[in-house]
Amino acid sequence: MLQKKAIALALAAFALGGAAASEAAVLRWAHSTDISSADPYGRREDFTLSVLGNVYEGLVRWNDRQQLEPALAESWEIVEPTRWRFHLRRGVKFHNGNAFDADDVVFSFQRATAPKSNFKGLLEPVREVRKVDDHTVDLVLKAPHAILLNDLAGWFIMDREWCIEHGAAEPIDLASAEQKAYTANHANGTGPFMLKSREPDVSIVAVANPGWWDTPRHNLSEVVYTPIRSDATRVAALLSGQLDFIRGVPLADVPRLEQNPDIRMLEGPHARVVFLGMNARDPELKSSDVRGRNPFADIRVRTALYQAINEDAIKKSVMRGRARPAAIAVAPQTHGYDASLDVRLPYDPEVAKALLAEAGYPNGFAVELGCPNNGSLINDEQICQALVAMLGKVGVRVSLRAQPSTQHYGALLKGELDMWMLGWASLPAGDVSALFTAVVHSPNGSLGAYNPKGWSDPGLDALITQVGTEYDPGKRQALISEALRRHREAVAVLPLHQQQLTWAARKGFTVPQPADEYVRWWTVTGPK
Amino acid sequence: MLAYVIRRLTSGLFVMLAVAFIAFLLFNFVGDPVNNMLGENATAEQRAELQHKLGLDQPFPLQFARFVGNAAQGEFGISYRNLQPVSELLEARLPATLELSVVAALLALALGIPMGVYTALHRDGVLARLCQMVSLIGVSIPSFLTGILLILVFSVTLNWLPSFGRGEVVTLGGWSTGLLTASGLKSLILPAVTLALFQMTMIMRLVRSEMLEVLRTDYIKFARARGIRERSVRFRHALKNTLVPVITIIGLQLGAVIAFAIITETVFQWPGMGLLLIQAITFGDIPVIAAYLVLVAFLFVLINLIVDLLYYVVDPRIRIDRGVVAL
């Protein structure tokens, strides 16, 4: 009897579920990972910031054309090179109704830069935030900082009263498990959407904020985000109508989605450029059969490797046409790009062989190439396999060390690799200086973390310091171009290509696709 | 009896310690979580600082001792990836995994045992042969493929069932269940079938071979000679005697189902512990991996204990002995 009842119940449930009507202008979308936390200072990680940027806002923000525009600050001026004054927007309310003012900015600075914070690196150049009056703050810098606004776009303002009320005045401390971490699943920002619920790895539900200070461009009433780790499942969910939009379509699935009349592929440039780094510093390479000298220390060897790589073939067969061959590690969409430098050396295996012979390696040499293999770069392992074959043709015997990204980047940072694959998007700053300080600068304990054994040039380091402090756009671009030219002429890295974004949406949804890969919900429109 | 249970639990404690020890040995190969936590723009100084704060720069014995010390107090630290206490995360995920595993196990039992009995009794029947063939497919197809195929058929093509997630859940006294809502039940079907398929075929084959064996024994012949009804011979005499090995295997398999729901959970984005683990491994989220492995070790110990106690119920010979089972 009980059983029968249960079956009847289940059947009734079935019928109900099938009849549920779908509401208009709800955006249901998915990507492979979840945000790390709803706490905007939990971790400095791009995807988390891109989602939270719809709920929280900074003093300035990026729009979908990759331009900085005023957000919680209406205007600003440079009082002196190390003091910027920000005039705050009046009449802005947090989602709980609290008014936004200078105290919130000062509090947010303290919270983000507290000793326990994992976020404080972003605000390192700022010495303090001073309240001038209720609607004016001064940011006092340790030294002139050219990309201050870029950095501020990733620093979201929290409500002081709300944080204190919920025992979250301190940031999340990884070394202690005692706190309740209220901010991990709750948010109270000023942005266009209000967080309704968050369940880690399950969903984020947000509703439109009717009291938003800006004029909404979107027509959404609700946004539901679901992390779906498996690529095949994510694509299937879009095809079955459970989702309206997905990011990160595997290249192999693109033709299938293109044929579907209900789905539209969205493709555009991504800010990330993929290249190979080489250990040019150690006296000899651990993984090589050459003893007593380091082949990569010779520019002829580096040039030979560059010219032995047929990037057009990689683009065509590995990337299925979805890449742009690059000669510098900066994308055109990133500030500081110089098109005159983005010209590749020609592919020429004969020249490569001659250069290797000239450098004293007529029979080539052996070396290991470190490579991520779980998709942190699009088709990463396949690219590396193609490279092994190409370099083999000129006599360089490459063995592949493909491992998951956590291990790969860990080994890279420790300087354990002799040759490595890396992709750089210069995000969230959107400025080439992010590349300079992490990848180009010589390692000095602070800068050059991703260049532990790579190219080092004191003259270039000096240029990078100047780029970091120069406010004049014209002068700054000249310095950037000079630095890029030096880096390129030294063949310090072997550039490969710029990646493309592959997104897919149901017909009726318009999703702007900026190169920073951010999905700005307030720019999305759905069918009415 | 009580002493026996206590003894088993104590030895279980050592199993858990050993598992934690091996897990910690492996953490050297997980990679560097600090890089994932701070993002690519962090400076070398900031990385070193965080590594120090988390104690990742300490020697292995010290890290292990600290973990055991904290775990003894029920504290597993904060997840590097989710920035939430690990115990909270596991608590939130446990219901999803247990519901999926138990439903899958019940499904496997409910279909596997009758199929096994049937194929044993009608060895040459067409239906029995068909069952045998299907079961061969069931054991040989890997579950991620089963999952994707089911999604393609039932979600994409027929549009009957959802392809991911757990649907709507209801929270009852801290236990989130998807068994009480329509979308929850619908969401459960595909993952449960995927997970149950292998178990079902295995139980079927096991019951079949055990049945065949028992049916050949003199005891059954005598029962038939005594004129007992065939139905009674088959189920009361034969089936009941095949159950001891079946219970052992089912018990072990339930542990395996819970522990290895990982693949099914990943394919269906089922928010259980398996999905949590796989994401923790990719990220290098050491506190979560450690706590998960210890918890699974505990579940295995517990299930084995329950299996031993079940023998006691099923097999009277054990009751006549001192009540001690050697496994």
A-chain residues near B266 (CB < 8 A): 229-230
The count of other CB atoms within 10 Å of the CB of residue A63 is 15
B31 closest CB neighbour out of A174, A404, A429 = A404
Report d(CA A189, CA A100) in Å as an integer.
10
Confidence of residue A324 (pLDDT cuts 50, 70, 90): very high
B-chain residues near A10 (CB < 8 A): 185
A233 closest CB neighbour out of B37, B50, B268 = B268
Confidence of residue A16 (pLDDT cuts 50, 70, 90): very low
B43 closest CB neighbour out of A118, A408, A449 = A449
Tokens of B24: 């910690």
Q: Tell me the ipTM for this assembly.
A: 0.83
Per cent of chain B over pLDDT 70 is 96
Condensed to tens digits (0 to 9), the pLDDT of residues A488-521 reads 999 999 999 999 999 999 999 999 999 999 999 9
B164 closest CB neighbour out of A46, A228, A424 = A228
Report d(CA B82, CA B186) in Å as an integer.
28
Contacts across the A-B interface (CB distance below 8 Å): 190
Substitution target in B269, B276, B282 with the highest count of A β-carbons within 10 Å is B269
Confidence of residue A15 (pLDDT cuts 50, 70, 90): very low
pLDDT at B271 over 70: yes
pLDDT at residue A307, rounded to an integer: 97
pLDDT at residue A7, rounded to an integer: 46
Q: Which residue of B has its CA nearest to A434?
A: B41
Condensed to tens digits (0 to 9), the pLDDT of residues A479-489 reads 999 999 999 99
Confidence of residue A179 (pLDDT cuts 50, 70, 90): low
Averaged pLDDT, A249-274: 93
Least trusted range by pLDDT, from A14-18, A145-149, B223-227, B277-281:
A14-18
pLDDT at A17 over 60: no
Cβ-defined contact of A450 to B83 (cutoff 8 Å) = no
Least trusted range by pLDDT, from A76-80, A148-152, B22-26, B273-277:
B22-26
Between A385 and B79, residue with greater pLDDT: A385
A420 and B CB contact within 8 Å: no
pLDDT at residue B234, rounded to an integer: 80
Averaged pLDDT of chain B: 84
Least trusted range by pLDDT, from A31-40, A77-86, A185-194, B117-126:
B117-126
Averaged pLDDT, B261-265: 90
| Nearest CA distance, B295 vs chain A (angstrom) | 18
B46 and A CB contact within 8 Å: yes
B37 closest CB neighbour out of A118, A403, A407 = A118
Least trusted range by pLDDT, from B165-179, B237-251, B271-285:
B237-251
pLDDT at residue A180, rounded to an integer: 63
| Nearest CA distance, B94 vs chain A (angstrom) | 14
Confidence of residue B250 (pLDDT cuts 50, 70, 90): confident
The conformation of residue A275, written as its DSSP 8-state character, comes to E
Per cent of chain A over pLDDT 90 is 79
Report d(CA B171, CA A388) in Å as an integer.
54
pLDDT at residue A115, rounded to an integer: 85
Cβ-defined contact of B38 to A121 (cutoff 8 Å) = yes
pLDDT at residue A109, rounded to an integer: 96
pLDDT at A456 over 50: yes
Report d(CA B317, CA A467) in Å as an integer.
85
Chain A residues 349-378 within an 8 A CB cutoff of chain B: 374
Chain A residues 458-517 within an 8 A CB cutoff of chain B: none
pLDDT at residue B321, rounded to an integer: 53
Condensed to tens digits (0 to 9), the pLDDT of residues A266-284 reads 999 999 999 999 999 999 9
Q: Which residue of A has its CA nearest to B270?
A: A202
pLDDT at residue B326, rounded to an integer: 44
pLDDT at residue A226, rounded to an integer: 95
| Nearest CA distance, B177 vs chain A (angstrom) | 14
B278 and A CB contact within 8 Å: yes
| Nearest CA distance, B224 vs chain A (angstrom) | 34
pLDDT at residue A22, rounded to an integer: 38
A250 and B CB contact within 8 Å: no
A-chain residues near B162 (CB < 8 A): 237, 240, 242
Chain A residues 119-178 within an 8 A CB cutoff of chain B: 120-122, 124, 172-177
pLDDT at residue A8, rounded to an integer: 47
pLDDT at A21 over 60: no
Q: Which residue of A has its CA nearest to B31?
A: A407
Averaged pLDDT, A316-329: 95
Cβ-defined contact of B275 to A201 (cutoff 8 Å) = yes
Q: Which residue of B has its CA nearest to A185?
A: B84
B-chain residues near A234 (CB < 8 A): 164
Confidence of residue A23 (pLDDT cuts 50, 70, 90): very low
Condensed to tens digits (0 to 9), the pLDDT of residues A437-450 reads 999 999 988 888 89
Condensed to tens digits (0 to 9), the pLDDT of residues B155-213 reads 999 989 999 988 888 888 778 888 888 889 999 999 999 999 888 888 888 888 888 88
Tokens of A311: 């990037």
Q: Write the secondary structure of chain B as one string of H (helix), E (strand) and C (coil).
A: CHHHHHHHHHHHHHHHHHHHHHHHHHHHHCCCHHHHHHCCCCCHHHHHHHHHHCCCCCCHHHHHHHHHHHHHCCCCCECCCCCCEHHHHHHHHHHHHHHHHHHHHHHHHHHHHHHHHHHHHCCCCHHHHHHHHHHHHHHHCCHHHHHHHHHHHHHHHCCCCCCCCCCCCEEECCEEECCCCHHHHHHHHHHHHHHHHHHHHHHHHHHHHHHHHHHCCHHHHHHHHCCCCHHHHHHHHHHHHHHHHHHHHHHHHHHHHHHCCHHHHHHCCCCCHHHHHHHHHHHCCHHHHHHHHHHHHHHHHHHHHHHHHHHHHHCHHHHHCCCCCCC
B269 and A CB contact within 8 Å: yes
B-chain residues near A229 (CB < 8 A): 266, 269, 275, 278-279
Cβ-defined contact of B148 to A17 (cutoff 8 Å) = no
A-chain residues near B87 (CB < 8 A): 177
Least trusted range by pLDDT, from A81-85, A396-400, B11-15:
B11-15
pLDDT at residue A24, rounded to an integer: 54
pLDDT at residue A270, rounded to an integer: 95
Confidence of residue A342 (pLDDT cuts 50, 70, 90): very high
Report d(CA A140, CA A80) in Å as an integer.
9
Condensed to tens digits (0 to 9), the pLDDT of residues A358-381 reads 999 999 999 999 999 988 899 999
pLDDT at residue A424, rounded to an integer: 94
A118 and B CB contact within 8 Å: yes
pLDDT at residue A5, rounded to an integer: 47
Least trusted range by pLDDT, from A479-488, B15-24, B36-45:
B36-45
- Residue B273 exposed, middle or buried by CB count within 10 Å (0-12, 13-18, 19+): buried
Averaged pLDDT of chain A: 91
Confidence of residue A178 (pLDDT cuts 50, 70, 90): low
A236 closest CB neighbour out of B151, B181, B266 = B151
